[in-house]
A and B are shown apart, each in its own frame.
Chain A
Amino acid sequence: MMLAMVGRRVIHTLLQVRRGRQRDALLDDVLGYLSTGDESRIRAILARRRNVRLLPKILHQLLTVVQFDDPQPIYELLRICSMLDHLIRESASIRIDRRMRAVETLAEIRGPEIIAALDARIGDEAAEVSVAALSGLARMDALPPFPEIMRRLDIGRRHSERPYRMLFRSLAPGRARDLAVLLAEELLPAARILIVDALGECDEAIASKTLAVMTHDPSEDVRAAALRSLARLGRKDMAAVVMPRLADAAWTVRAQAVQTCAALGLRTSIPLIAQLLSDHSWWVRYRSAQALAQLGGEKVLSMCMAAGRQNETIRLVRAALYEMELAA
Chain B
Amino acid sequence: MIHFDLTEYLSAIEAVARSVSGVIIATGLTQNLLYTFQLMIAGWNLFHRAPEDDVQVLWARYHGISPPISVIVPAYNEGPTVVASAESLLSLRYPNFQVIVVNDGSTDDTLERLIAYFELEVSEYAIDSVVPCQPIRNVWMSRKRRNLVVIDKDNGGKGDALNAGVNAAHMPLICSIDADSLLESDSLIRATRPFIDDTDGVIAVGGTIRVANGCVIDRGKVVEVRLPSRLLPLFQTVEYLRSFLIARLAWSSLGTLTLISGAFGIFRRDAVVAVGGYSTDTVGEDLELIIKLHRYMRDEGRHYAVQFIPEPVCWTEAPSTWSGLVRQRSRWQRGALETFFKHKGMLIRSRYGRVGILGIGQMLLIDVIGPLLEVVGYVLVPTLWGLDLLSVDYLLAYLAVFSVFGVFISNGSLLLEEAELYQYPRAVDLLILLAVAVLENFGYRQMCNVFRVMGWWQFLRGAGGWGEMHRVGFKSVAPQTEVLSN
Instruction: Decide whether A and B assemble into one complex.
Output: yes
Q: Which residues of A contact B (CB under 8 A)?
A: 1-2, 5-6, 8-10, 13, 61, 64-65, 95-97, 100-101, 127-128, 131, 159-163, 165-166, 190, 282-283, 286, 289, 315-316, 318-322, 326-327
- What residue of chain A has the Cβ atom nearest to residue B130's Cβ? A282
Q: Mark B95-132, 1 if CB is under 8 A from A, else 0.
A: 00000000000000000000000000001111010100
Pick the contact of B411: A1, A95, A315 (CB < 8 A).
Answer: A1
How many Å lie between the Cα of A6 and that of B411 in the bound state? 12
Chain A residues whose C-beta falls within 8 Å of the C-beta of B427 in the assembled complex: 6, 9-10, 13
How many Å lie between the Cα of A240 and that of B143 in the bound state? 38
- B61-A128 in contact (CB<8A): yes
Cβ of B477 under 8 Å from chain A: no
Pick the contact of B146: A13, A65, A327 (CB < 8 A).
Answer: A327
Chain B residues whose C-beta falls within 8 Å of the C-beta of A283 in the assembled complex: 128
Chain A residues whose C-beta falls within 8 Å of the C-beta of B53 in the assembled complex: 97, 100-101
- What residue of chain B has the Cβ atom nearest to residue A127's Cβ? B197
- 8 more A-B residue pairs beyond the given contacts A160-B199, A282-B130, A326-B146, with a C-beta to C-beta distance below 8 A: A5-B415, A9-B430, A13-B427, A64-B57, A97-B51, A162-B199, A163-B196, A286-B128
- A5-B124 in contact (CB<8A): no
Chain A binding surface, main DSSP class? helix
Cβ of B40 under 8 Å from chain A: no
Chain B binding surface, main DSSP class? loop
Q: By CB atoms of chain A within 10 A, which of B56, B64, B126, B415 has the most?
A: B126
How many Å lie between the Cα of A97 and that of B210 in the bound state? 25
Pick the contact of A163: B65, B126, B128, B411 (CB < 8 A).
Answer: B65
CB distance from A7 to the nearest CB of B (A): 9
Cβ of B281 under 8 Å from chain A: no
Cβ of B2 under 8 Å from chain A: no
Q: A5-B434, A65-B56, A282-B130 are in contact. Are A321 and B124 (CB under 8 A)?
A: yes
Chain B residues whose C-beta falls within 8 Å of the C-beta of A160 in the assembled complex: 196-200
Chain B residues whose C-beta falls within 8 Å of the C-beta of A321 in the assembled complex: 124
Q: By CB atoms of chain A within 10 A, which of B51, B197, B411 has the most?
A: B197
A-B contact pairs, 14 of them (CB 8 A): A2-B434, A5-B415, A6-B431, A9-B418, A64-B56, A100-B50, A160-B197, A160-B198, A160-B199, A160-B200, A162-B67, A166-B64, A320-B126, A322-B124
Q: Which of B179-208 contact A (CB under 8 A)?
A: 196-200
Q: Mark B343-387, 1 if CB is under 8 A from A, else 0.
A: 000000000000000000000000000000000000000000000
Cβ of B266 under 8 Å from chain A: no
- A162-B65 in contact (CB<8A): yes
Q: Which of B403-427 contact A (CB under 8 A)?
A: 411, 414-415, 418, 425, 427
CB distance from A22 to the nearest CB of B (A): 18
How many Å lie between the Cα of A241 and that of B60 in the bound state? 36
Q: By CB atoms of chain B within 10 A, which of A127, A162, A282, A321 has the most?
A: A162
How many Å lie between the Cα of A100 and that of B197 in the bound state? 15
Pick the contact of A165: B56, B65, B124, B430 (CB < 8 A).
Answer: B65
Q: A5-B414, A5-B434 are in contact. Are A322 and B125 (CB under 8 A)?
A: yes
- A318-B411 in contact (CB<8A): no
Pick the contact of B126: A2, A6, A162, A289 (CB < 8 A).
Answer: A289
How many Å lie between the Cα of A127 and that of B195 in the bound state? 13
Q: Mark B123-145, 1 if CB is under 8 A from A, else 0.
A: 11110101000000000010100
Chain A residues whose C-beta falls within 8 Å of the C-beta of B418 in the assembled complex: 5, 8-9
CB distance from A237 to the nearest CB of B (A): 29
- B415-A1 in contact (CB<8A): yes
How many Å lie between the Cα of A163 and that of B197 in the bound state? 7
How many Å lie between the Cα of A82 and that of B143 in the bound state? 57
- A162-B430 in contact (CB<8A): no
- A282-B128 in contact (CB<8A): yes
CB distance from B143 to the nearest CB of A (A): 6
- B126-A166 in contact (CB<8A): no
Pick the contact of B143: A8, A165, A318, A326 (CB < 8 A).
Answer: A326
How many Å lie between the Cα of A8 and that of B420 in the bound state? 13
Q: Which of B39-61 contact A (CB under 8 A)?
A: 50-51, 53, 56-57, 60-61
- What residue of chain B has the Cβ atom nearest to residue A327's Cβ? B146
Chain A residues whose C-beta falls within 8 Å of the C-beta of B60 in the assembled complex: 64
Chain A residues whose C-beta falls within 8 Å of the C-beta of B434 in the assembled complex: 2, 5-6
How many Å lie between the Cα of A313 and that of B65 in the bound state? 33
How many Å lie between the Cα of A327 and that of B130 in the bound state? 26
Q: A5-B418, A9-B427 are in contact. Are A162 and B50 (CB under 8 A)?
A: no
CB distance from B466 to the nearest CB of A (A): 31
CB distance from B39 to the nearest CB of A (A): 14
How many Å lie between the Cα of A9 and that of B425 in the bound state? 9
How many Å lie between the Cα of A8 and that of B431 in the bound state? 12
CB distance from B242 to the nearest CB of A (A): 16
Chain B residues whose C-beta falls within 8 Å of the C-beta of A10 in the assembled complex: 427
Chain B residues whose C-beta falls within 8 Å of the C-beta of A159 in the assembled complex: 197
Chain B residues whose C-beta falls within 8 Å of the C-beta of A320 in the assembled complex: 126
CB distance from B66 to the nearest CB of A (A): 9
CB distance from B237 to the nearest CB of A (A): 16
Chain A residues whose C-beta falls within 8 Å of the C-beta of B61 in the assembled complex: 128, 131
How many Å lie between the Cα of A8 and that of B419 in the bound state? 9
How many Å lie between the Cα of A5 and that of B430 in the bound state? 8
Q: A162-B196, A315-B124, A316-B126 are in contact. Are A2 and B411 (CB under 8 A)?
A: yes
How many Å lie between the Cα of A2 and that of B61 in the bound state? 39
Pick the contact of B50: A8, A95, A161, A315 (CB < 8 A).
Answer: A95
How many Å lie between the Cα of A166 and that of B200 in the bound state? 18
Chain B residues whose C-beta falls within 8 Å of the C-beta of A318 in the assembled complex: 124
- What residue of chain A has the Cβ atom nearest to residue B51's Cβ? A97
6 residue pairs, one from A and one from B, having the closest CB atoms: A97-B50, A319-B124, A319-B126, A318-B124, A160-B199, A166-B64
How many Å lie between the Cα of A144 and that of B427 in the bound state? 52
CB distance from A64 to the nearest CB of B (A): 5
CB distance from B339 to the nearest CB of A (A): 29
How many Å lie between the Cα of A161 and that of B197 in the bound state? 9
How many Å lie between the Cα of A1 and that of B437 in the bound state? 13
How many Å lie between the Cα of A26 and that of B141 in the bound state? 50
Chain A residues whose C-beta falls within 8 Å of the C-beta of B415 in the assembled complex: 1, 5
CB distance from A62 to the nearest CB of B (A): 11
How many Å lie between the Cα of A320 and that of B67 in the bound state? 22
